[in-house]
Structure 1
Amino acid sequence: MKHIIQQVFSNILENPVLDLSLIEKYFSKDYIQLVDHHQLNYEEFILHIKKLKEKVVEQKIDIINYAENGNIIFTHHTAKSVLKDGSVVKHKVLAEFTIHKGKIIRCNELTLLLEGNTTEENLGSEL
């Protein structure tokens, strides 16, 4: 299952182009994301990804550690983002993904701003 998460990071988050077919490929229409006390459904998640593409020029995700248990994969990763204004932010992310029938149906995530402007603290849930 780690390969699914790696593909999501690479093909959706690190990819500067928004490709809705990739979101449909990896995420269930029933997808729910809980991130830093915010809940996003599938449509809101797409809005979130669109917002990221508007703000971020380049993003690099590095998996520090992961664990798998049945249909759950947990990642400890960092997200380094170069914003369109040239500033750089880095977040530490702890995420628990639930996979069902080959698609992500749930993500429970906590983010912590490690570097950058505090106005980007909620980059992980911004719509």
Structure 2
Amino acid sequence: MDREEVFSFLNNMYKNILIDMNVDEISNYFIDDYVQVTDGVKSDLEEFKKHLFTLKNIVKTISISPFYDLLFDEKSNVATLRYIVHVEKRNGECGDVEVIALFELNNSKIVRCNELTTPLDSGSGLEDIGRVSS
């Protein structure tokens, strides 16, 4: 994949998986042995799915800014993104979270994601939104 293909792939993944929360689409984007580390907390694919189901239950809406930074190293197949997620929870809490994510790709699928999240609004109740799970 080149930079433009990766940009399109990741945009589609975020729309289908995070914004639309279409868990049935996960196999189109992630390998079975997928590993995610968010704010130091490691998850496998099943734990990632639980995270999405939890988000479905507690979040009213999620939107994502355009990617502010997208760096892609074709040799290592690693993409680095920075963007803002706007979250409105069902309990009325809302705010923005900055995300910096590194994606390792192989054969047009995500192998691993390391991400750091930082709530931009103090007291928004979003401190653990990137790793919340039931």
Question: TM-score, normalization: structure 2?
Answer: 0.88
Instruction: Confirm or deny that 1:74 pairs with 2:80.
Output: yes
| Residue aligned with 2:83, SS | strand
Instruction: Confirm or deny that 1:10 pairs with 2:15.
Output: yes
Letter in 2 for 1:46: K
Letter in 2 for 1:27: F
Q: Distance in 1 between matches of 2:104 and 2:7?
A: 12
CA contact (8 A) 1:32 1:40 kept: yes
Letter in 1 for 2:87: S
More strand by share: 1
Instruction: Confirm or deny that 1:84 pairs with 2:87.
Output: no
Letter in 1 for 2:34: Y
Q: How many residues align?
A: 125
How far has the Cα of 1:116 moved from its partner? 5.2
Instruction: Confirm or deny that 1:108 pairs with 2:114.
Output: yes
Q: Can you list the C-alpha shifts for 1:81-100, whole angstroms capped at 9, x where unaligned?
A: 11112221210000000111
CA contact (8 A) 1:74 1:97 kept: yes
Larger radius of gyration: 2
Structure 1 stretch 113-122 or stretch 6-15: which is displaced more? 113-122
After TM superposition, the runs of 4+ consecutive aligned structure 1 residues lying more than 4 A away are: none
Instruction: Confirm or deny that 1:55 pairs with 2:55.
Output: no
CA contact (8 A) 1:32 1:106 kept: yes
Q: Can you list the C-alpha shifts for 1:9-30, whole angstroms capped at 9, x where unaligned?
A: 1111111xx4332111111111
Q: Distance in 2 between matches of 1:4 and 1:117?
A: 34
Identity level (%): 27
Question: TM-score, normalization: structure 1?
Answer: 0.92
CA contact (8 A) 1:48 1:125 kept: yes
Q: Distance in 2 between matches of 1:116 and 1:88?
A: 11
